Amino acid sequence: MDIKHEKTKQILALFEEISAIPRCSKNEEKIAAYLLDWAKKNDLVAKPDKVGNVLIRVPGTPGYEKTATVVIQGHMDMVCEKTADSPHDFAKDPIRFVFADGWLKADKTTLGADNGIALAMAMTLALDKKAAHPPLELLFTVDEETGLTGANALQGDFIDGKILLNVDSEDEGVFTVGCAGGRDTHITLPLQYEDPPAGYVMTRLKAGGMTGGHSGVNINEERANAIRVLVRTLLQLQKETDLRIADIAGGTAHNAIPRDAWADIFFAKDSFKNLEKTVADWDQVFRKEFKNTDPNLKLSLEPMPETTGKRALTAESSPKICNLLFALPHGVAAMSTDIHGLVETSNNLANIKIRNSKLEVITSQRSSVMTRLHALTTRIEIIGRLAGAEVVSGNGYPSWQPNMESPLLARCQKVYESLFGKKPHVEAIHAGLECGIIGDKKEGMDMISFGPTLKNPHSPDEKIQVESIGKVWDFLVELLKSFK
């Protein structure tokens, strides 16, 4: 791809270097070591904290030495998702870049531009001899994607600056000034097993090929949830025959809408043809329901070649699984009455699996109204307990309430309009950002979030618009120059 913006070339070269380092959530040790080594090689003061967050200090350029410090912040980790046919190993394989039609994506995996592009941009800025800027603190946090662990553990005195530029938003020309809070719930349902009845065979029911996406960004688009598709089919099959579940799994990350799910099921051998027809019929039902959002959705029933020694859930446990999963909410629970078009409250039925004879379920709730977040969490907890499950909800993280009188926002709007001849869009989002947490840690922090245009984060369809990287760079340089 022919890239004319010189800084974009530098940023992407550094991003590719970053993308060769394993950095799935909770496994950021190698990327943190790389950043600390990079700082040392470039004579920059850097330090980690006790959870692995990294801070790199960049002196102000001549004339800006006494200007207030600006924090540029992003997170080190990425959501590691891949297509079912991808051989990629996130623990060792570099992300393979694919350029097409002005966009950069990866080969059958998440790209990790969320939020590796922020690291690359901040590091490029730190070495740019021409860019004028105040003293900078490059704050790179760990485990944003699975629990905002790094931001939650951050000590207020780890950073000095009280102006925060978060480079983790996904639409160039849009300034984010507020976000939802979030909370996860873990449900554990005890199960009982027995030998399958005589004459029963095992098959695998698969629900796959769904679009998935970010549970904060795409939850309002009515995309199919593979777990829900699977469970609806199982409920129908249970009406037609005695069905025993042997195993079930679906979803990956708490903040990704599940794209694939499956269940190994036992039933009488002579029922196979009828059930195969039912699955084919429901495949067509779901294709019609989700024709606009999930064109590659596929439902199938596949014989299992080896079932020796496999056990089945009892006639009581199998329906319990389906009833619990179908009762749990998924999708938008409420739209904001303050901001048109903004999702206020939602839930993502995110992940299911059986381990140690227990069904483990993870749901992820979001809301910009914390009382509604707690109410939805309580509802989910009650559903779990009514099913006989153990339920534990995390502490979660706070929402970030917009401050439309922010001096930083006014400065950003003025710089952007002067640079591009048009006004930026200002919004609050339903996704979670670290700003709310960091703002709680540092009293008086003035914050804003922006970034290049990114589509389909948290899925193998993730892509970044190359041209937007240069525009964000130009804006960032002009913004920092304006602080003198």
Tell me which residue has tokens 């449900």: 187
171-180: burial string, b at 16+ Cβ within 10 Å, e else:
bbbbbbbbbb
Name the residue type at position 355.
Answer: R
**Is-catalytic flag, 316?**
no
Secondary structure letter of residue 65 according to DSSP = T
In 141-290, where does DSSP find H-type helix? 144-147, 149-153, 226-240, 272-289
Q: From residue 132, how far is each of 27, 65, 321, 385, 451 by CA, in Å? A: 35, 11, 59, 58, 20
Helix (H) or strand (E) segment spanning residue 439 = helix 435-441
Distance CA 478, CA 217 (A): 29
| CB proximity list for 28: less than 8 A, separation 6 or greater | 52, 76, 77, 142, 143
Residue position matching structure tokens 């401050």: 403
Element (H, E) at 351: strand 343-355
Residue 414 three-state SS: helix
Q: Tokens representing 351? A: 């992940």
Q: What is the rounded CA–CA span in Å between residue 443 and residue 448?
A: 15
Task: Give how far Cα 45 sits from Cα of 29, 36, 59, 158, 447, Å.
Answer: 19, 9, 9, 13, 24
Enter the tokens of residue 304.
Answer: 């299992």
Tokens for 227? 């777990």
Query: Is 184 among the residues known to form the active site?
Result: no
Answer for the pair 75, 150: CB distance below 8 angstroms, yes or no.
Answer: yes
Catalytic residue among 137, 143, 144, 462: 144
Alpha-carbon distance 209 to 411, whole Å?
A: 45
Catalytic sites, residue numbers:
77, 144
